[in-house]
């Protein structure tokens, strides 16, 4: 799992590398080289799982089946359609996936598929009332 980015403790070349990564995502969006998948529904919440050249995933390419990505980008939406942390809907143990130092606290970047499947299972249990 990729650790949160702490720009305050990075040297100039590290910040430049992160900025270049961000520009690559912006460029992919600008050139239409991205894919947006429909969210997965679990009761009254939704899990967005995204992977393309414009997302933080591996490989960082567009057009593969979701299962072909080693890591993906995820977001969770509560019953009102608002971004939320897993703990906000009663699911413990997943908040550390979300990047708290970049202002993107509601987006988890480069999440291994194994962690996504664990979150899916927790969401399924929650939807069943467990």
> Which residue segment(s) compose the domain that 113 sits in?
7-127
111, part of any domain: yes
1, part of any domain: no
Question: Rounded to an integer, what distance in angstroms lies between the CA atom of residue 123 and that of residue 43?
Answer: 8
Given a contact cutoff of 8 angstroms between Cβ atoms, the answer to whether 59 and 67 are in contact is: no
Whole-prediction pTM: 0.73
96, part of any domain: yes
35, part of any domain: yes
Q: What is the pLDDT of residue 1?
A: 41
| Tokens read off for 118 | 């664990």
Question: Rounded to an integer, what distance in angstroms lies between the CA atom of residue 95 and that of residue 85?
Answer: 6
| Number of domains making up the chain | 1
2, part of any domain: no
Q: How far are the Cα atoms of 8, 59, 96 from residue 28, in angstroms, in the given order?
A: 27, 14, 27
| Tokens read off for 106 | 């509601």
Kindly give the confidence (pLDDT) of every residue in the chain, 130 residues in length, as a single tens digit, with 9 standing for 90 and above: 445 555 556 566 665 565 555 545 544 444 455 678 899 999 999 999 999 988 889 999 998 999 999 999 999 999 998 888 999 999 999 999 986 655 556 789 999 999 999 999 999 999 998 6
| Tokens read off for 59 | 């490989």
121, part of any domain: yes
Question: Rounded to an integer, what distance in angstroms lies between the CA atom of residue 85 and that of residue 78?
Answer: 9
R_g over Cα of the chain: 15
């Amino acid at each position: 799992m990729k650790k949160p980015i702490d720009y305050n403790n990075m040297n100039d070349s590290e910040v430049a590398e992160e900025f270049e990564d961000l520009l690559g995502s912006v460029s992919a969006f600008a050139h239409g080289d991205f894919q947006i998948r429909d969210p997965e529904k679990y009761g009254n919440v939704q899990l967005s799982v995204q992977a393309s050249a414009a997302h933080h995933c591996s490989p960082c390419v567009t057009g593969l089946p979701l299962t072909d990505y080693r890591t993906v980008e995820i977001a969770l939406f509560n019953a009102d359609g608002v971004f939320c942390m897993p703990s906000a809907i009663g699911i413990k143990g997943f908040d550390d996936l979300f990047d708290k130092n970049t202002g993107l606290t509601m987006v988890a970047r480069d999440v291994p598929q194994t962690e996504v499947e664990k979150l899916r299972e927790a969401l399924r249990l929650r939807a069943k009332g467990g």
